[in-house]
Amino acid sequence: MMVYLLRYDTELLAERLKFVPLHKDQKIWDKVIMLLFFTAGIGLYLIPGFDVVRYEWSESLPLWMRVLAMLVHLPCFVLLAWVMRENTYLSQVVKIDEERGHKVITTGPYALVRHPMYIVIIVILFAVPVALGSRFALILTMFLTVLLIVRTYLEDRTLHAELEGYPEYAKKTPYRLIPGIW
């Protein structure tokens, strides 16, 4: 995906590579959620080391589960690439990118759900601790998932209010994350 973005969408690449996801027009609620997500996300990689390797807080998950979780990563990365290819406005912060003529994307995975990247990230959030064999890290995954669901709700509300054409798109594509459910 990096090679694709380097060749076809350097603006999106620059946006996605920002280490600190902050913007002057970013909503306060988004700053709080991203700070919590970033901080807790570090724990998603630290806790398994303590849980499975260092202190053995819990019994490691079975090998078949860990292998399956590793295999889940591959289609997730393909789906993330598809999302990025379709949506050049895919910022790390909730904002309307007026400088680049931000418009509603209705093609590819966006024809199925309004926030396809978040559902892929949620799957990856569960796959990481399972792949690392950590039961305790799954608790943190649930917290991170709740943060993403709250962010999805608030981002969707913002897009309804601020992005031209989004309410019409939402009527045609009624589901935020999971078709037929929400």
Euclidean distance between CA atoms 102 and 163, whole angstroms:
8
pLDDT tens by residue, 42-60: 999 899 999 998 898 899 8
pLDDT exceeds 80 at position 21 = no
pLDDT exceeds 80 at position 132 = yes
User: Residue 159's closest CA among 110, 86, 108?
Assistant: 110
Contacts of 79 (CB under 8 A, 6+ apart): 109, 116, 120
pLDDT tens by residue, 139-157: 999 999 999 999 999 999 9
Euclidean distance between CA atoms 173 and 152, whole angstroms:
15
For residues 17 and 22, the model is more confident at 17
pLDDT tens by residue, 69-115: 999 999 999 999 999 999 988 888 888 888 888 999 999 999 999 99
What domains can you pick out in the chain, each with its CATH number? Answer: 28-172 (1.20.120.1630)
Contacts of 151 (CB under 8 A, 6+ apart): 30, 33, 37, 94, 118
Task: Note the residue count of the chain.
Answer: 182
- Return the structure tokens found at 109: 């995975």
User: Residue 91's closest CA among 34, 138, 40?
Assistant: 34
Q: What pLDDT score was predicted for residue 26? A: 85
